[in-house]
Amino acid sequence: MRRYLLALSPLLVALALVLSADVVAKAGVQRDNCIGDPYVLVGTVDAFSASGLVIWIDGSTTLRINSVGPTWYWEENQVPLPKPNTTVYVEYSEVDCLGDSEYVLMYYKYEPEEGQDFELLLRDYDNCIPLWVMKSRQ
């Protein structure tokens, strides 16, 4: 009996580590700690990639907004990915991400023609959790 328990011990420890890592990941990955109320901006897209959105604020200044979500989330919500030289409306928040401050996209709106618009909510306004993270865990 003792050999049986000793043989199972490493398996039980490994299982406990996997389960505790999953609990920590679910608790920590989602929250970035939004700082204050979201900012609102209407600007022209300079660049878009999986790592962020760059928007012209005026003719000479750009703003980089990170954490724009995965492309599958945009596609699933039938919102076209931002293209350069298009005018967009965005709401973004400043977040504290492990001691560094950056901007994350909260809401996106694009109106290619009058009467036709595409809107995408990317984060929960109450707790700053990315909605694609919540969606991928359902």
Interval 68-122: pLDDT, tens = 999 999 999 999 999 999 999 999 999 987 888 899 999 999 998 888 899 999 9
Residues 110 and 81 in one domain: yes
Q: What's residue 90's pLDDT?
A: 96
pLDDT at 9 over 70: no
Residue 55 burial (CB < 10 Å; 0-12/13-18/19+)? Answer: buried
pLDDT at 32 over 90: no
Domain count for the chain: 2
Residues 86 and 44 in one domain: yes
Residues 21 and 38 in one domain: no
Residues 64 and 95 in one domain: yes
What range does the domain containing 4 cover?
Answer: 1-30
Residue 93 burial (CB < 10 Å; 0-12/13-18/19+)? Answer: buried
Residues 96 and 130 in one domain: yes
Give CA separation, 24 vs 14, 20, 88, in Å: 15, 6, 36
Q: What's residue 12's pLDDT?
A: 40
pTM of whole model > 0.75?
no
pLDDT at 26 over 80: no
- Sign of the C-alpha dihedral, residues 69, 73, 77, 80? positive
Q: Which residues face 49 on adjacent strands? A: 52
Q: What's residue 114's pLDDT?
A: 80
Residues 41 and 65 in one domain: yes
Condensed to tens digits (0 to 9), the pLDDT of residues 48-72 reads 998 899 999 888 899 999 999 999 9
Residues 128 and 107 in one domain: yes
42/27 Cα distance (integer angstroms)? 34
Residues 64 and 116 in one domain: yes
The pLDDT-based confidence of 3 (bands split at 50, 70, 90) is low
Q: What's residue 2's pLDDT?
A: 56
